[in-house]
Amino acid sequence: MLINIGGWLTDPTHWTGPNGIPTRVLEHLLYAGISLLFSAVIAIPLGIVVGHSGRAKWTISIANSLRAVPSLGLLFAVALWLGPKIASSLAYVIPSVIVLVLLAVPPILSGTYAGIQGVDPAARDAAQGMGMRGGELLRKVELPCALPLLLSGIRGATLQVIATATIAASISLGGLGRYVIDGLSVSDYPEMASGAILVALLALAMDGILALVQRFAVSPGLSGKFRNTPGNRPVVSTTARGDAATEPASPTDRADDQREALV
Amino acid sequence: MSWVADHLGDILWYAGQHTLLAGIPLIVGLLLALPLGWLARRYSRLYGVIIAGSGLLFTIPSLALFILMPLILGTRILDTLNVYVAMTLYTLALLVRTVAEGLGAVPDSTRQAATAMGFTGMRRLLRVDLPLAIPVIAAGLRVAAVSNVSIVSVASLVGFPQLGYYLTDGYQRTFPTEIAVGIVGCVLLALIFDSVIRAGAWAVTPWQRVAR
């Protein structure tokens, strides 16, 4: 069986044309990228506002309860409802992207919210004492402090989007899921397994890249690289975030975000 | 609505299948996660390995894992064992972290008091540390339960019968009622799992109810 999969993956005809692996990888990344962009544009400002003011927390609750809805069901429902209303070739792309955005918003939103809310009040006070106001405070202090959790949210959302874009092949979307769904429909195991391997590799690669971004983008004062130097204690304490069951900033929520991404 | 009434028997059967596919891995995963989480807590080097391993596992999309399972297990593509093992792996990956975190969150003063009262080794773990970790473990279990219910529905694309069947079948036949049944069924099942776990955790942690 392994030899068949190896044969499928190395077959040169599978590496060219509109159904070739490079095209499918690019399609997959395109759908994922567009959806993430839209959801970041929605979720990050909303998370900042809610985390900042502490008001409208219900948006977070609604976004989180959306996670109980099976993504496959959401996909089919939106495709069935919107698909016939769109005449162009985008009839499958638009419903898919809508669902991907719906699924990517909750992790980014709760990450941003938890990050902004968890900013050490002392850091905020100090910044205000130094004369920072409004936008400057947000840009120079609050956002950098919130960045680790915000990026965790984006990582979770990315995995979620890559996984769901695969499933979306069942409503005729392109991308790597095509191999899986087409392979399933004709019981071609090497094809579906190759698709599965490629999707898993893509997800691992994207997660790895984002882990690197997280590593380099987060200020050393926060990531604790200076932990041993006196006076450079991390601004956000990782231990003082309270009960895992209620507090969105708890480490379990990181797992929660990732976990959600499998669906 | 009449469609639902006519097919109630089928719906319940699919819901039962769904409960098994999502629930059994939850139990097995928890039973495996308890010793592994303890080991991860005990040996810090192992902790890194386990966290990295579970992180990698989370990254693999469920549809891909269902399809790759036969390669690892040597099963047939439609063997239910594939879903059980895949779901157990996801549950385990999530719960090992939670168990390790829960055990780690037991205050040192409590541990010292227990030791002073004569609790040692395994007895302290089972009578003091583990009970105190229950709220954290239950929170992780709830997350795992809700996501298990959702992930299992994806298995209908491969052809495993459960509530997800109504999603795929409803889409193929352009029959929104069926999709609605699938979605509502999954959400209800997730809610039931969630309430059962909450009730269970509530029942075994009477000290949480004492006014503080």
Would A63 be classed as within a structural domain? yes
Would B81 be classed as within a structural domain? yes
Q: 3-class SS at A117?
A: helix
Would you say residue A52 has pLDDT above 70?
A: yes
Higher local confidence (pLDDT), A103 or B51: A103
Q: What is the DSSP string of B108-155?
A: HHHHHHHHHTT--HHHHIIIIIHHHHHHHHHHHHHHHHHHHHHHHHHG
Residue with the two structure tokens 């992930």: B151
- pLDDT of A131-160, one tens digit each? 888 888 888 888 989 999 999 999 999 999
- Among A144, A109, A110, A106, residue whose Cα is nearest residue A124: A144
| Highest mean pLDDT, choosing among A25-39, A172-186, B35-49 | A25-39
Would B211 be classed as within a structural domain? no
Q: 3-class SS at A56?
A: coil
Would B212 be classed as within a structural domain? no
User: If you average pLDDT over residues A118-130, what whole number do you get?
Assistant: 89
- How far are the Cα atoms of A167, B29, B82 from residue B85, in angstroms, in the given order? 20, 10, 5
Would you say residue A262 has pLDDT above 80?
A: no
Would A13 be classed as within a structural domain? no
Residues 30-59 of B with CB under 8 A from A: 54-56, 58-59
- pLDDT of B127-175, one tens digit each? 888 899 999 999 999 999 998 999 999 999 998 999 999 999 999 998 9
Q: How many domains does chain A have?
A: 1
Higher local confidence (pLDDT), B15 or A252: B15
What is the CA angle B201-B203-B207, rounded to 5? 90
- The CATH number of residue B44's host domain is 1.10.3720.10
Burial of A214 (0-12, 13-18, 19+ CB in 10 A): middle
- Other beta carbons within 10 Å of B48: 11
Q: In B, which residues are within 8 Å of A71 by CB distance?
A: 150, 154
Residue A84 belongs to domain spanning: 19-226+234-260
- Other beta carbons within 10 Å of A203: 28
- Other beta carbons within 10 Å of B145: 23
- Among A193, A199, A153, residue whose Cα is nearest residue A173: A199
- pLDDT of B90-140, one tens digit each? 999 999 989 998 998 888 898 899 999 999 888 888 888 889 999 999 999
- Binary contact (A193, B138; C-beta < 8 A): no
C-alpha A34/C-alpha A37 separation (Å) is 5
Question: ipTM score of the complex?
Answer: 0.86
- Among A162, A181, A149, residue whose Cα is nearest residue A250: A149
Say what the pLDDT of residue A225 is.
62
Q: Which two tokens stand for residue A232?
A: 């450079």
Mutant choice from B67, B78, B188 vs A, greatest count of A C-beta within 10 A:
B67
Q: Is B76 within 8 Å of chain A by CB? A: no
Would B35 be classed as within a structural domain? yes
| Letter string b/e over residues A92-106, b meaning 16 or more CB atoms within 10 A of that residue's CB | bbbbbbbbbbbbbbb
Higher local confidence (pLDDT), A83 or B70: B70
Q: 3-class SS at A139?
A: helix
Which amino acid is residue A106, in one-letter code?
P
C-alpha distance from B129 to closest chain A C-alpha (Å): 16
Sign of CA dihedral A133, A134, A139, A141: positive
Quote the percentage of chain A above a pLDDT of 90: 43
Mean of per-residue pLDDT scores for chain A: 82
Say what the pLDDT of residue A93 is.
87
Would you say residue A261 has pLDDT above 90?
A: no
Would A58 be classed as within a structural domain? yes
Q: What is the number of helices (H) and of strands (E) in chain B?
A: 10, 0
H/E stretch holding A128: helix A121-129
Q: In B, which residues are within 8 Å of A256 by CB distance?
A: 143
Would A2 be classed as within a structural domain? no
Would A12 be classed as within a structural domain? no
C-alpha distance from A151 to closest chain B C-alpha (Å): 15
Nearest chain A residue to B72 by CA distance is A2
- The CATH number of residue A170's host domain is 1.10.3720.10
HEC assignment per residue over A135-150: HHHHHHHHHHHHHHHH
- pLDDT of B38-59, one tens digit each? 998 888 888 888 888 888 888 8
- Binary contact (B187, A68; C-beta < 8 A): yes
Residue B171 belongs to domain spanning: 2-204
What is the CA angle A149-B53-B72, rounded to 5? 135
Would you say residue A89 has pLDDT above 50?
A: yes
Name which of A159, A192, A259 is nearest B94 (Cβ-Cβ): A259
H/E stretch holding B4: helix B2-6
For residue A247, name the pLDDT band (cuts at 50, 70, 90): very low
Would A14 be classed as within a structural domain? no
- Binary contact (A180, B67; C-beta < 8 A): yes
Which amino acid is residue A65, in one-letter code?
S
C-alpha B54/C-alpha B37 separation (Å) is 12
Length of chain B: 212
Would A184 be classed as within a structural domain? yes
Say what the pLDDT of residue A27 is.
93
Say what the pLDDT of residue A260 is.
44
Counting one residue from chain A and one from chain B, the pairs whose CB atoms sit within 8 A come to 175
Q: In A, which residues are within 8 Å of B55 by CB distance?
A: 207, 258
Which amino acid is residue A99, in one-letter code?
V
Contacting residues for A114 by C-beta, under 8 A, at least 6 apart: A51, A149, A247, A248, A249, A253
Nearest chain A residue to B198 by CA distance is A245
Would A111 be classed as within a structural domain? yes
C-alpha A146/C-alpha B189 separation (Å) is 35
Q: How many domains does chain B have?
A: 1
Q: Is B4 within 8 Å of chain A by CB? A: no
